[in-house]
Chains A and B, each alone.
Chain A
Amino acid sequence: MLVFAASDKGGTGRSVTSANLAYRRALRGDDVCYLDFDFGSPTAAAVFAVPDIPRGAASGGLHSHLRGAVTEPLRIDVWDRSEHDSLRYAPAGAGRLVLVPGDLGGGEFATAQEAVNRCTKLFAQLEEEFDLVLVDLSAGRSFAVDMALESTARPELRSAPCHWLVFHRWTRQHILAAAGLVYGERGLLANGIALGHDPARLRAALRFVRAVVPGQDSPGIKHARPPQSVWMHAVSRQLDALAAENGLGHGKVLGSVPEEPVLKLQEQLITDEDVLETQVANPETRSALEQLARRLVDDKAWEEF
């Protein structure tokens, strides 16, 4: 299964949530490959706590591969290389967790067509090998997004199951921006259909993930003064209505992740130790991520109404 993580704006928690999703799937026994297609700022290695390349590989990463400089992009076995204490060894029953990092320098591609050819081959090959291939795309209508759309429209990948996750924060601006990214004039759907995707199939493969959503237990809500509480309740209902009007209603939502103090300070994986042992992370965050990981492969979550 190929899963593409997109967002219209930065700061939506796209990278960190999708990395956590990859980690949770691997814990459940899937072989997972995480590709850092955030060409502007490849930071996935930092989330997985892989040393040496916190801001991208010096050479041989995804860029170099798509440019044709290396025949195979660098692969990092996270269980083997991570410096995070809980990631040092693969837990019993876990699948493989492989990171394909971006390059430190980044930069443009000489000819887009060549890059798309290589990208298609890479996706096809990884799909052959891994249960889940998670591709973290750069924010906005970027070259990475176009390349992913074009590759998946090619005959080589026409039968591969593809899903698109659009991450957004739970604010008015973010809801409108995410709707624009998907349904807008040059949005994912319009662009995908122009590139040869089947409209109904592409629409059905698309879900939203609400990130940094203020939870019932968050201090802002729990200790709010009565007028604040009333106001927040009203705004929350307005946002619900706004999301539904713009095609981001409950039927199109795969999950929502509450705001998490740990992630506000540091992009990292939320492990069970963080929640149960040291208790630095909230249990709600863990259960939200678990639910997201479960629903990702649940056919019911992808049914269209």
Chain B
Amino acid sequence: MTRPKRDKVSGNKDAGHETVVVCGEVRTALLQTSLPLSQDQCARFLALRPDEPVRVSERPNVYAVSPDLLTGVDCRLPAASGSRVRGVGTVRAHAALTGGRVIQASAHFQYTTSVSGQRLPWSHYLVRPGLVERLGRTTADDLTAGFLAPRATEPGLLDPGSIASRLLDRARGHELLDGQPPLKSRRTRLRWAVRQVPPGAEPSVHFTIVDTERRTLLLLLPGLMDAKAVASVPPFCEELALHDWLLTTLIRVVERRALGSLSGPEVANRLGPAVSHLLHLWLPGARSGRELPELWNGVEQQPGFTRQWQTLVQRIRDQLALQSLPLHDSAPESSRAPTSAPRR
């Protein structure tokens, strides 16, 4: 594939045609508390800054997002080529709660080219929230590939994941949480990168499951990417991370034990928490589907998130239905057919 010339980002000459690159990481976990938080509690829980309110929406399900926090960074950038590139700027981070049950911490930033070619006073970076200026020569390809590579979590490299993780840890000690979650679950981390591609190309989504915890997502978006288009990307990634976490957690609930070998009460104990706390949270595209419908379509076709979810949900319902059958069987004769009159 020949790369268009403007894909190369070098110095300040072609800053106007710069390829847009946005990178971030989302960490998703079950809120460590026995009951889901109410709408008011969500707002209290996410009040991370006194000067800005928490945004709460009720439809289609309760969703609350904290104000953005900025973290100043000055460190090496993870470049696939290994070239030494430095990044200075700020990373935006926030926490969000879905259904008062699932907590997500998300951190992201957009690359820009440094106009001056050197590090400036902090006041310069503080008025450009969420932008990280690059000092050194590299390409957009190199940056996105480097960011998604496994080596990118080495100490000393710019890692929005650690910023997100700190937010999660900070939230864990909150007084509203009783620390008694209804089920065991694993945190997941989705590392994502968006790169602009020439107009006319199809938008594409590359979602990879690296291991039980890590996932990567590469989005290639064609055409013009203005501030509004850039702003619509993090919500999409967060929503995708949420649904991937739901799917991962439900798979574990179902596959953990051979379901066929469990007795009735055990099945109910095992599946009950998932039914009460997770099933109703599945609403893919509820928040970012309007801006980026083609991306959701891509994910639904391959790997087919909703298809797999439906199969699992059906399996859970079948298991629970199956467990209720023997109860009828062992019930006394008289109570088995309550509507029909005794024959004798």
Contact = CB atoms under 8 A, between A and B. Distances in A.
A128 B29 contact: yes
A29 B185 CA distance: 15
A21 B42 CA distance: 40
B169 A121 contact: yes
B179 A158 contact: yes
B257 interface: yes
A155 interface: yes
Contacts of B185: 128-129
Interface string B1-45: 000000000000000000000000000011010000000000000
Contacts of A219: none
A29 B32 contact: no
Contact of A124 (B162, B172, B178, B180): B172
Interface in A1-57: 29, 31
A71 interface: yes
Contact of A129 (B155, B180, B186, B258): B186
Contact of B178 (A68, A125, A159): A159
Interface centre among B32, B178, B180, B261 (most CB of A within 10 A): B32
Given A128-B29, A129-B184, A159-B180, A31 B256 contact: yes
Contacts of A29: 256-257
A240 interface: no
Interface in A86-115: 92-93, 95
B232 interface: no
B173 interface: yes
Contact of A159 (B179, B187, B257, B261): B179
Contact of B179 (A92, A131, A160): A160
A130 interface: yes
Interface string B271-290: 00000000000000000000
B184 A71 contact: no
B184 A131 contact: yes
Contacts of A68: 155
Contact of A93 (B29, B153, B179, B257): B257
B181 interface: yes
A31 B258 contact: no
Contacts of A124: 169, 172
A71 B213 CA distance: 14
Interface residues of A, number: 21
Contact of B184 (A70, A128, A155, A160): A128
Contacts of B258: 92-93
B184 A130 contact: yes
Given A92-B258, A129-B185, A130-B184, A156 B173 contact: yes
Contacts of A129: 184-187
Contacts of A160: 179
Contact of B162 (A71, A93, A95, A155): A71
Contacts of A155: 173
Nearest to A157: B179
A83 to B, nearest CB: 22
A169 B257 CA distance: 36
B184 A31 contact: yes
Nearest to A92: B258
Given A92-B261, A125-B187, A156 B172 contact: yes
Contacts of B186: 128-129
Interface string A183-215: 000000000000000000000000000000000
Interface of A: 29, 31, 68-71, 92-93, 95, 121, 124-125, 128-131, 155-156, 158-160
9 contacts: A29-B257, A69-B155, A93-B258, A95-B257, A125-B187, A128-B32, A129-B186, A158-B179, A159-B178
Given A31-B256, A125-B187, A159-B178, 14 more contacts: A29-B256, A31-B184, A68-B155, A92-B261, A93-B257, A95-B256, A124-B169, A128-B30, A128-B32, A128-B185, A128-B186, A129-B186, A131-B184, A160-B179
